[in-house]
Amino acid sequence: MAHRTAAALLLLLAAAAPPEPAGLWTGPQHGATPATLAGATVLPSAQAAKKWLESQLPVVIDVSPSPTKPPNMAPGMPWLPPAHQDIPGSTWLPNAGREVLQSARAAAYLQMVKTMATPDHPVMVYCHANCWGSWNAAKVLVQAGYHHIAWYPGGLETWTAADFDLQRTRAVAY
């Protein structure tokens, strides 16, 4: 059942795929994403992502946003964000693909990736389904001269729907 749900989600995503923009996406972060990313490998399913992970042994980067305190909480009330779940082996760099990062933040993202991978080492970037953040973060790496970038547009939703393992992760400051 989970495999059918993931397949149906991917078919819906592909059917509504907009064209690939020339530069970084600056519109809303959630919405239909392109089916392509020039200079990168697109991993169209959880199975494809898992196979690529096993064969390429990449650095794996999750750029999901950090959870925010619910606006209806009383002022001063303690809030603990929920545990973040990731694909095993991931490094969570929150919001690294958000619209256009300020230049210092974009440089910090590239510097953090540089500590984990050379331009010739495979890197997989993901977030959530219908999230431009992972597309932007992968595009930034392609533009920076990384040669083996994979973008996994189905993200955590299709990975979870395929019933693959997850790990708890803490955000890495960059």
Domains of the chain by start residue, with CATH: 2-16+37-66+83-169 (3.40.250.10)
AA identity, residue 40: A
What is residue 3's predicted lDDT score, i.e. its pLDDT? 54
Count of residues for the chain? 174
In this structure, are residues 99 and 25 in contact, taking their beta carbons and an 8 Å threshold? yes
Report how far residue 152's alpha carbon sits from residue 41's, in angstroms, rounded to the nearest whole number: 9
What is residue 99's predicted lDDT score, i.e. its pLDDT? 65
Closest by CA position to 94, among listed 80, 79, 77, 112: 112
What is residue 13's predicted lDDT score, i.e. its pLDDT? 46
In this structure, are residues 127 and 157 in contact, taking their beta carbons and an 8 Å threshold? no
In this structure, are residues 137 and 125 in contact, taking their beta carbons and an 8 Å threshold? yes
Q: Which residues of 6-44 are buried (b: 16+ CB within 10 A; e: fewer)?
A: bbebbeebeeeeeeeeeebbeeebeeebbbebeebbbbb
Report how far residue 11's alpha carbon sits from residue 35's, in angstroms, rounded to the nearest whole number: 11
AA identity, residue 21: P
pLDDT per position in the chain (174 positions), as tens? 555 554 444 445 445 789 999 888 888 888 999 999 999 999 999 999 999 999 999 999 999 998 888 888 888 888 877 789 999 999 999 999 876 666 788 889 999 999 999 999 999 999 999 999 999 999 999 999 999 999 999 999 999 999 999 999 988 988
Number of neighbouring beta carbons within 10 Å of residue 153 = 30
